[in-house]
């Protein structure tokens, strides 16, 4: 099968869907190409969180191998970085050059590049699958302008036309499916749940590397190490995590928190003030952003993974290293806790988070059992190879339905 993926941004060396899923589809023997823009993701506060300036983000037009993938980068003619919208030049020529059996356009339904491909496909009729990663937290604050965009401009004016060429929509969580139905009017029956995943062959527990990591960073071997990694911005609720850590410190002297990632200056100062005010200086180790390749050692050093705010694919990588998770009790995180491999708490409730953490800190056997279950979940369900097989099946269904419609139309024309 010739599979063409289209995504607004692609960055080598990351653990994102566009890095892992495409490689897995290639391992299944399919011919895969990615069309993307001439630049990397404009992550929130990327100059601080990713330590990357504009000259590093814009990498230029090219057609080359990146991360082992066949990647075509097109010239961006317009970009709205606030919402990761791009329009690019030469999209349909690049599509024709590849002649795909199916087009998979990525994240999200409301995106300039997706509009480009769906609008153009009204006159070309390739089989198309669209995926979406928008949970409810992605549209907050839900301003009047956003409400107008979602519920009128897209739902009433654009969706009825553009979705004609879409065979299936893939949502990464059940909350995404609910959002697509409620906000955009997309029939839930059209949405297949296709979660995110990770690479268990890369992220696995390495005891020696974990011990060396602790020694290198001065973390005692008898501490129960809590880890949080990723871009540290306000929506990730690290302030809630630190307040919970302060409450946990009153109940146990075993816990130590490892935070990995950079934060915008204002939020960093706020978090540092909490650390100082709550006397957490000797209980928190805060390290700069790490490349994906260095994270397995950090997770192997850790005993509990905790992500209190917006979703992050990094908690799947942590779980793959045999670490139990503590996540918000929200629709976007439930898929990562389906194998008795962690605990939930009401988002924003520092006391409840402290209770969940204390339960795991105090019970070595519970941590060990949930850690084994976490690894099992990744190996069984939440890995890119399993998810690639699922997407290939969906693609084939879309292709078959598209072919059936085309043959029916041909027969109808012939009779007329």
Q: What is the pLDDT of residue 157?
A: 74
Q: Are residues 157 and 22 part of one domain?
A: yes
> Is residue 202 domain-resident?
no
In this structure, are 193 and 211 located in the same domain? no
Residue 37 domain-assigned (yes or no): yes
pLDDT at 48 (0 to 100): 81
Q: Coil, strand or helix: which one is 219?
A: coil
**332, part of any domain:** yes
Residues 274 and 373 occupy one common structural domain? yes
Residues 128 and 15 placed together within one structural domain of the fold: yes
Would residue 248 count as lying in a domain?
yes
Query: Would you write out the chain's pLDDT as a tens digit for each of its 416 residues?
Result: 999 999 999 999 888 899 999 999 999 999 999 999 999 988 777 788 777 888 889 999 999 999 999 999 999 999 887 667 888 999 999 999 999 999 999 876 566 778 888 888 888 889 999 999 888 777 778 888 878 777 877 788 777 777 888 999 999 999 999 988 988 888 999 999 999 999 999 999 999 999 999 999 999 999 999 999 999 999 999 999 999 999 999 999 999 999 999 999 999 999 999 999 999 999 999 999 998 899 999 999 999 999 999 999 999 999 999 999 999 999 999 999 999 999 999 999 999 999 999 999 999 999 999 999 999 999 999 999 999 999 999 999 999 998 887 666 656 655 55
10 and 48 co-located in one domain: yes
Phi, psi values for residue 294, rounded to 5°: -95, -10
Whether residues 80 and 185 share a domain: the answer is yes
Q: 181: burial class by Cβ within 10 Å (0-12, 13-18, 19+)?
A: middle
Alpha-carbon dihedral of residues 106, 108, 110, 115, nearest 10 degrees? 0
Residue span of the structural domain in which 236 resides? 207-380
Give pLDDT, residue 82. 64
**What does the pLDDT read at residue 19?**
92
In terms of Cα–Cα distance, which of 130, 141, 38 is closest to 82? 141
Q: What is the CATH number of the domain that holds 367?
A: 3.40.50.2000
- Note whether residue 88 is domain-resident: yes
Q: Are residues 300 and 324 in the same domain?
A: yes
Same-domain pairing of 259 and 351: yes
- The predicted pLDDT at position 44 comes to 75
Same domain, 14 and 153: yes
On whether residue 149 sits in a domain, the answer given is: yes
Alpha-carbon distance of 18 to 14, in angstroms, equals: 9
Q: Is residue 15 part of a domain?
A: yes
Give the number of other CB atoms < 10 A from CB of residue 4: 25
- Which pLDDT value is given to residue 143? 84
Cβ atoms of 408 and 187 closer than 8 Å? no
Residues 6+ apart with CB under 8 A from 282: none
CB atoms within 10 A of CB 160: 11
What torsion do the CA atoms of 314, 358, 271, 290 make, to the nearest 10 degrees?
A: -30
Domain count, the chain: 2
Determine which helix (DSSP H) or strand (DSSP E) holds 414, and give its type and residue range.
Answer: helix 384-415
- At residue 209, the pLDDT reads 98
pLDDT for residue 406: 67
Residue among 103, 80, 61, 84 nearest 8 (CA): 84
Q: Which residue has the tokens 């983000």?
A: 57
Asked if residue 239 and residue 178 are part of one domain, the reply reads no
pTM for the full model?
0.90
Do 262 and 389 sit in the same domain of this protein?
A: no
Query: What are the distances in angstroms from CA 145 to CA 150, 181, 302?
Result: 9, 19, 43
DSSP H helical ranges for 254-349: 265-277, 295-300, 314-320
Please report, for residues 20, 21, 84, 296, the alpha-carbon distance to residue 24 in angstroms, rounded to integers and kept in the order given. 6, 5, 25, 20
Asked whether residue 398 is domain-assigned, the answer is yes
245 and 136 in one domain?
A: no
């Amino acid at each position: 099968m010739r599979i063409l993926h289209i995504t607004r941004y692609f960055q080598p060396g990351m653990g994102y869907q566009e890095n892992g899923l495409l490689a897995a589809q290639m391992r299944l023997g399919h011919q895969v190409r990615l069309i993307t823009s001439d630049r990397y993701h404009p992550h929130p506060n990327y100059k601080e969180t990713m330590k990357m300036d504009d000259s590093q983000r814009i990498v230029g037009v090219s057609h080359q191998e990146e991360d082992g993938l066949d990647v075509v980068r097109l010239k961006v003619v317009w970009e709205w970085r606030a919402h990761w919208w791009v329009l690019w030049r030469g999209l349909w020529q690049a599509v024709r050059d590849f002649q795909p059996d199916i087009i998979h356009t990525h994240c999200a339904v409301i995106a300039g590049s997706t509009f480009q491909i769906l609008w153009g496909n009204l006159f070309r009729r390739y089989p198309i699958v669209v995926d979406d990663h928008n949970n409810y937290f992605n549209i907050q604050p839900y301003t009047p302008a956003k409400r107008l965009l979602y519920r009128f401009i897209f739902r009433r004016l654009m969706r009825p036309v553009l979705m004609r060429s879409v065979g299936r929509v893939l949502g990464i969580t059940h909350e995404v499916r609910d959002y697509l139905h409620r906000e955009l009017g997309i029939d839930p029956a059209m949405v297949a749940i296709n979660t995110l995943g990770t690479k268990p062959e890369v992220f696995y527990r390495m005891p020696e590397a974990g011990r060396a990591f602790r020694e290198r960073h001065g973390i005692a071997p008898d501490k129960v190490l809590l880890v949080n990694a990723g871009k540290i911005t306000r929506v990730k609720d690290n302030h809630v995590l630190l307040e919970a850590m302060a409450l946990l410190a009153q109940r146990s002297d075993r816990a130590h928190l490892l935070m990995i990632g950079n934060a915008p200056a204002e939020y960093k100062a706020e978090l540092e003030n909490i650390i100082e005010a709550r006397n957490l200086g000797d209980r928190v180790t805060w390290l700069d952003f790490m490349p994906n390749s260095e994270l397995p050692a950090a997770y192997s050093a850790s005993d509990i993974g905790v992500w209190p705010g917006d979703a992050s694919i990094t908690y799947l990588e942590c779980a793959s290293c045999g670490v139990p998770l503590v996540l918000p009790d929200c629709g976007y995180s439930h898929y990562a806790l389906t194998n008795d491999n962690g605990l939930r708490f009401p988002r924003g409730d520092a006391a409840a988070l402290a209770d969940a953490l204390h339960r795991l800190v105090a019970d070595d056997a519970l941590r060990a059992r949930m850690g084994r279950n976490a690894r099992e979940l990744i190996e069984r369900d939440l890995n890119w190879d399993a998810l690639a097989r699922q997407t290939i099946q969906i693609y084939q269904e879309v292709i078959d339905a598209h072919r059936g419609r085309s043959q029916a139309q041909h027969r109808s024309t012939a009779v007329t």
